[in-house]
Structure 1
């Protein structure tokens, strides 16, 4: 930028004066200074604080999410990426501000509860950072996921969802999500699966009290061998726990025996009473207030109440729904030309003879 050429606009024998355009044009973030007699002007923006900038961006994104059209967003869901915004939330050290906007974005982008979007793992991760486990649990659906854009999104969704369920002491749900990561198809093992398997071992010991090293047949052979190599300490803990040999378990595990008052002091609670975390349906125990000892009891549930019957009925209905989805997927796969072509090539390779039928009888003409 140059000034209009005038004859001796300044006294060049003296240093050029400071010219502030910020006062004239009311730009609080810009200031200009004359650097040389040739009237060349350079500007240096006053940098905003990183936290303030991140908060402003979060506010703009929240306004856009609330005002945008859900139908248009779903048409370009692959471009609805909030990765940069999530990074700004981390830098602001206040991830709680982004939980509500991300929850709203997930509900707008998601077409059905059976479809997983790229926003799901980001939302769950942000809920973990903000320590909003209940908000993250609302994103997890009881319906089976049938549509996934990227395999990595499925891994992260189940991994973060399992961690949220652990925080809420919903160990059965956590096992289901971590199990999905461990048994997912993979040609090369990834870090997400390794961390999920470590937590899967610990949650299994907490929930059922026993651990089985053998994985189901649906798990990939690569995952099985890699888990044994990279998760050896956790596997040793599980095996020692199964054997019931306390001396061997103490050799691989270091633990403390703490009183309720010690726990309250460590987590900065007001008193030992706030450290009593026995909830209905989770742990059945009694605490002796005199000496602080805990006595564990058997489950008092007799499975005869109307509430338990409703729970069992919902589980049965879900099982029926899973069966219908499997039948529909089997029929769709049986009519897939790529699948039929591959089966035909395998037939020629192994020569099964006339007993091998590439098309099910249901679809035979």
Structure 2
């Protein structure tokens, strides 16, 4: 059992060499169960100059059985914002553990907004580069969802993630799945449906032999957002893990049935939605189902613009499966305001005139948008080529790939589906 003087002296002496100090502190972790020692040690250290030692002590404090939550939070919030990034990167697992405990405490106190800025700053300190994934990405997105501050995650979410380094960031496969799930939910809340689907799909197609609750929940969101955005649920790519494809047939049957009914008249779709209402509510997806039903009606109205130049509101309501002409007018106004259609409503006879798109797409602004899209595509292509060259020259990858090909004929990974393969990960 190390005493206070020895602990503080070693931390102060080795803070300039974080890797050395991290090894020393690993051997002292047994002593950190003494909360009196931890408290006195924190009082003797500077959270900026001695960040790594302070991190070990504060993280140990968060593991106490009888934790003083307000005091812990008041210590953790400023620390993750002012700590020295070079020091805390020597113990990424400890830093992640501290941030998670801080988020759990604030969630328990219903004070999620207090965690938003500290987590953003903590993420920036932990990530080796803006393109690196960390476990704190999912933590931040979850906090922003619970605090209803979706725009606070925009800067982090808009950065392209191209690197995953488990050693330097303590990132696990579960962290990646949660990043895809919560990130997709933030995009969905901001009505960036295409980007949400991209993240959901990354999570669904991640290599795996065992399907967990995160993957199943991701598919349910993916199915509903696909209906909202595209009017259909495309089949998962062929490279999706076999256990995932098999499991979803039973675990997401209600969603697949809704997707099948989506191509039918509104009455049949609404009947299926009502039939599985309890399932959707239990999954927390009632709101997305309502959006999907509304999108179905709006697509029906859009199809009418390709056939008719004028049409009564009552006829539009009947074609779209809406309850009344007033409801049809409500949808029309929403679609016109969003620029989805161009129409004019004559109040007297309740007649709608569909108009042509006034945009000629030959303005300087339109050309600039096209040029920007081309430039981004070219930049992405260059990154993909660089990544391909790096992987093709990686000795570890080539060795593993050759070994896998050599033994592929002896592998049998076909029969790994079924309910027993679902790992019950709690993540909400």
Does the alignment reach a TM-score above 0.5?
Answer: yes
- The correspondence for 1:97, drawn from 100, 114, 124, is 114
* Conserved 8 A contact 2:133-2:161: no
User: In 1, are the aligned partners of 2:201 and 2:222 still within 8 Å (CA)?
Assistant: yes
* 1:162 pairs with 2:220: no
Paired position in structure 2 for 1:122: 139
Aligned length: 285
Aligned to 1:252: 272
TM-score normalised by structure 1 residue count = 0.66
Partner of 1:75: 90
Query: Within 2, Cα distance between the matches of 1:225 and 1:210?
Result: 20
Cα deviation, residue 280, structure 1: 6.5
Change (3 A) 1:156 1:333: same
1:55-204 aligned at under 5 Å gives the runs 55-81=70-96, 82-148=99-165, 149-204=171-226
> Over residues 290-331 of structure 1, what are the superposed CA-to-partner deviations in whole Å (9 max), with x where a residue is unaligned?
89x998988665443333433333333333333333323332
Alignment CA distance shift 1:107-1:285 (3 Å): farther
In structure 2, the partner of 1:226 is 247
1:116 CA drift (Å): 0.7
CA distance in 2, matches of 1:126, 1:91: 12
> Are the structure 2 counterparts of residues 74 and 300 from structure 1 closer, same or farther at C-alpha, using a change threshold of 3 Å?
farther
Measure the CA separation in 1 of the matches of 2:200 and 2:393. Answer: 32
Q: Does the aligned pair in 2 maintain the 1:54–1:92 contact within 8 Å? A: no
Q: Which has the larger radius of gyration?
A: 1
Distance 1:312 1:193 in 2: 35
Equivalent residue, structure 2, for 1:333 = 391
- Give the structure, 1 or 2, with the largest relative contact order (CA under 8 Å, sep 6 or more): 2
Aligned CA distance change for structure 1 residues 117 and 343 (closer, same or farther; 3 Å): closer
**TM-score normalised by length of structure 2:** 0.58
CA distance in 1: counterparts of 2:105 and 2:336, whole angstroms? 37
Q: 1:182 to 1:348 in 2, by over 3 A?
A: closer
8 Å CA contact 1:61, 1:101 repeated in 2: no
How far did 1:343 drift? 5.2
CA contact (8 A) 1:74 1:109 kept: yes
**Most deviating of 67-76 and 338-347:** 338-347
- What's the secondary structure of 1:62's corresponding residue? helix
> Separation in 2 of the partners of 1:199 and 1:287?
35
Q: Equivalent of 1:306, from 337, 342, 364?
A: 364
1-structure distance, mates of 2:356, 2:185: 27
Q: Structure 1 residues 349 and 166, CA, compared in 2 at 3 Å: closer, same or farther? A: closer
Shift of 1:215: 1.4
1:45 alignment partner in structure 2: none
Q: Which stretches in structure 2 are left out of the alignment for 5+ residues? A: 1-66, 166-170, 275-289, 294-321, 410-428
Deviation at 1:104, TM superposition (A): 1.5
Structure 1 gaps of 5+ residues are 1-51, 263-272, 352-365
> Residues 192 and 258 from structure 1, CA distance in 2 versus in 1: closer, same or farther, beyond 3 angstroms?
farther
Q: Which has the larger helix fraction?
A: 2
Paired residue for 2:260, among 239, 244, 253? 239
Q: CA deviation at 1:69?
A: 1.6
Cα gap change, 1:150 to 1:281, in 2 (>3 Å):
farther
Partner Cα distance (1:350, 1:165) in 2: 39
Task: Note the alpha carbon deviations across 1:331-357, whole angstroms, 9 max, x for none.
Answer: 233333344445555776799xxxxxx
Instruction: After superposition, give the CA deviation of every residue in 1:242-293 in whole Å (9 maximum; x if it has no partner).
Output: 2x2334323211379689x99xxxxxxxxxx9xx9779657557797989x9
| Secondary structure at 1:253 match in 2 | helix
Q: What residue in structure 2 maps to residue 357 of structure 1?
A: none
